[in-house]
Structure 1
Amino acid sequence: MLDTILKRIVSSPVLIYAIRCFIGFLIGYQLYVYFPELELFWTLLSIILVISPEEKDTRRLSLERFKSNFIGSAVALGLLLFVEPTIYTIMFGILLTIVVCRLFKVLNMARVALVALLIIMVEPHDTSWVEAPFFRFGTVALGCIIGLLIVVLTSMIFRPLKKKYGIPY
C-alpha cells in the first residue's frame, strides 16, 4: 500500500511540484508571520519563483532561476544606490537586466530577473529609501536560497525513490 502511494507520488511531476511549493510556502509564510516588520512577502514570492515545475532538468532550471533572481536584484540594488527610481531608470534597469542575463547565459529566465528588478525598484518600501534596496535585495536573496535548497533537498529524496521504482529521472 505504502509502496503504491510512494510510486504514484514520485511518478507525478504535478505532485512533486505541489509538494515543493507547499514546503516553500510553509517556510516562507512562517518567516512572514514571525517577522512581520521585515517585509518577507518578497522572500515568499522568491521561493515560489525559484522552484521549477518542469520534471526534466529541475535542478538546472531552479539554479538558473536562482541566478536570474540574483541578477535582477543586483541590477536594481546597483541602480538604486546611484539614481532615484523613475520610469527611465527602471527602463534602463530592464535593458541592463536582459543584457546581464544574456552574458550569464540565463536569458531564458530573464522574466524572473525582471520580476526581481521590479519588486525592488517599483514597490514602495516601509524602510528608509537608503536601506530599502539592501533590505529588499536580502529578502529576495533569502527566498532564492530557500527555494533552491527545497529543490535540491527534495531531489535527494525523490531521485532514489524514482530509481527504486524504475521511473526515469
Structure 2
Amino acid sequence: MSARDGRPSRLRRLTALAEQAASREHILERLKSGSMHALLSVTAAVVAYIPPSSLGLQEGFWAAITALAVTQAELSATHSTARDQFLGAAIGGAVGAGFAYMLGHSLPVFALAAFIALVLAWLTNVPSAARLAGITVTIIMLVPHKTSDLTMLASRFGEVTWGIVAALIVATPVSMLRAHLEARHREASERQAD
C-alpha cells in the first residue's frame, strides 16, 4: 500500500467511522449508567451539604464537594476513594496547620508544606492521597480565613470526613441492592438454562 493511492487515509477514516459506530451502539447503556451515577453522586452531595448548612456553617460546600469526589459507581471504588480523601485531608491538614503555626503564611512556607505533605502521602503507600494532601495544604495556607489555622484544620477535616460518610451512607445500600438484583438475575438465568 503506498501513501500516494490514498489507502492509508481511507483506512484511518474507516477506522474512525467504525469507532464512532461502536460508541453509538452503547449510548443507551452509557446514559443509564451515567444517570445512575449522577443520581447517586448528587444525592450524596445533598446529604453531605444539609447538616453543615443547617448548623450555619459557612463552608459546608466542602462536604458536598468531597461527597461528589468520593462517590463512585462501584462500592469498592467508593471505599478506595474515601480512604484516599480521608488520608489526604489528614496529612495535608496536619502539615498545613503545623507549618502555618510554626513558620507563618508565606509562599515559600506553603511550597515547603505542600512538598512535605505530598511526600508523606507517598510514604504511606497511598500515592493517590497526595493530591488531596496538597489541596488541603493549599486551602489551609492560601485561602483567606478569619479563624485560627487549627480551627481551619478541624473544619476542613470535619467537612471531608462528613462528605465521605455521606457518600458511604448513600452508596452502600445502593450497591447492596444492585448486588442482590444481579444475584437474582443470575439465579433466574441458571434456572432457565437447566
Q: Does 1:139 align with 2:139?
A: no
Q: Which amino acid aligns with 2:143?
A: E
Greater fraction helix:
2
Q: Does 1:108 align with 2:138?
A: no
Q: 1:65 aligns with which of 81, 85, 88?
A: 85
Q: 1:30 aligns with which of 50, 58, 70?
A: 50
RCO comparison, higher one (Cα < 8 Å, 6+): 1
- Structure 2, gaps ≥5 residues long: 1-27, 187-194
For residues 157 and 92 of structure 2, what CA distance do their matches in structure 1 show?
Answer: 9
What displacement does 1:102 show? 0.9
Q: Which amino acid aligns with 2:183?
A: K
Match of 1:76 in 2: 96
How many residue pairs align between the two structures? 158
- In structure 2, the CA distance between the partners of 1:150 and 1:82, relative to structure 1 (3 Å rule), is farther
For residues 88 and 101 of structure 1, what CA distance do their matches in structure 2 show?
Answer: 20
What displacement does 1:113 show? 2.5
- Structure 1, gaps ≥5 residues long: 1-7
- Bigger radius of gyration, 1 or 2? 2
8 A contact 2:41–2:68 mirrored in 1: yes
**TM alignment of 1:1-169, pairs within 5 A:** 12-52=32-72, 57-129=77-149, 131-166=151-186
* TM-score, normalised with respect to structure 1: 0.72
* TM-score, normalised with respect to structure 2: 0.64
For residues 182 and 94 of structure 2, what CA distance do their matches in structure 1 show?
Answer: 37
What displacement does 1:130 show? 5.2
- In structure 2, the CA distance between the partners of 1:125 and 1:63, relative to structure 1 (3 Å rule), is same
- In structure 2, the CA distance between the partners of 1:85 and 1:32, relative to structure 1 (3 Å rule), is same
For residues 76 and 149 of structure 2, what CA distance do their matches in structure 1 show?
Answer: 42
Deviates more, 1:150-159 or 1:38-47: 150-159
- In structure 2, the CA distance between the partners of 1:111 and 1:127, relative to structure 1 (3 Å rule), is same
Q: Which runs of 4+ in 1 moved over 6 A?
A: none
RMSD: 3.1
Q: Which amino acid aligns with 1:119?
A: I
